[in-house]
Amino acid sequence: MMVLRSVLAVALTLATSLPAAAEKLSLAEISRYLNDLQTAQGAFTQINDDGTIDTGTIYIKRPGRVRFEYAPPNPALVLAGAGSVAVFDAQSNTGPDVYPLNQTPLSIILARDVDLTRARMVVGHDSDGTTTTVTAQDPDNPEYGNIQLVFTANPTELRQWRINDGAGGTTTVVLGEMTIGGAISNRQFDIQREAESRGGR
């Protein structure tokens, strides 16, 4: 679970310079933005629970698919697709660790229809005058943890997210410059294909 905790936080954070001031974004606007975000790819920086830092490339294809390729010396690869999250470790010969996507906070923003106005989903909605932070969880399974999403406005953009998992760990992800839109092959998110390409590892 330590590897999963470090990895699941990775995803949709655009780390460019922040605007000077912006009004608080509504939950409806944030839901619209996430639903409109179909594909994206670019660099990410991940701050792990133990203070270590990883970098890599992320590929997003909503709904339900994301790929995290970590830069050396981290050998990990994480795929979400077909309702599962798989963590590949180059040092393991037993195959990937696989978990249900719907048991992770990532499922909230990778859902086919994101609706943050749903009852009990949002447990925090704040603004510091520059950014809007939304804390969301599965209202039926709060024990899975929560995800804190940080947005800027004009235009609405997701800049950072932090996952607080059910075991008490916290991981922060910041995305670099992202390419929004464009085609990304479904093969990028095929867990079985990736396992077979690694010789069944």
**Could you read off the pLDDT tens digit of each residue along the chain, which spans 201 residues?**
444 444 444 444 333 444 455 689 999 999 999 999 999 999 999 999 999 999 999 999 999 999 999 999 998 999 999 999 999 987 766 789 999 999 999 899 899 999 999 989 999 999 999 999 999 999 999 999 999 999 989 999 998 999 998 888 999 999 888 899 999 999 999 999 998 888 754
User: pLDDT value at position 21?
Assistant: 59
User: pLDDT value at position 80?
Assistant: 97
Domain boundaries, the chain: 2-197
Token look-up 């804190």 returns 148
CA-to-CA separations, 185 to 52, 59, 66, 177, in angstroms, rounded: 31, 10, 11, 20
pTM for the model:
0.84
CATH superfamily to which 2-197 belongs: Lipoprotein localisation LolA/LolB/LppX (2.50.20.10)
List the Cα angle 87/52/45 in 5-degree steps. Answer: 70
User: pLDDT value at position 200?
Assistant: 59
Tokens of 68: 């995290």
Closest CA to 171 of 77, 52, 86, 42: 52
SS (H, E, C) 13-47: CECCCCCCCCCCCCHHHHHHHHHHCCEEEEEEEEE
User: pLDDT value at position 3?
Assistant: 43
User: pLDDT value at position 199?
Assistant: 72
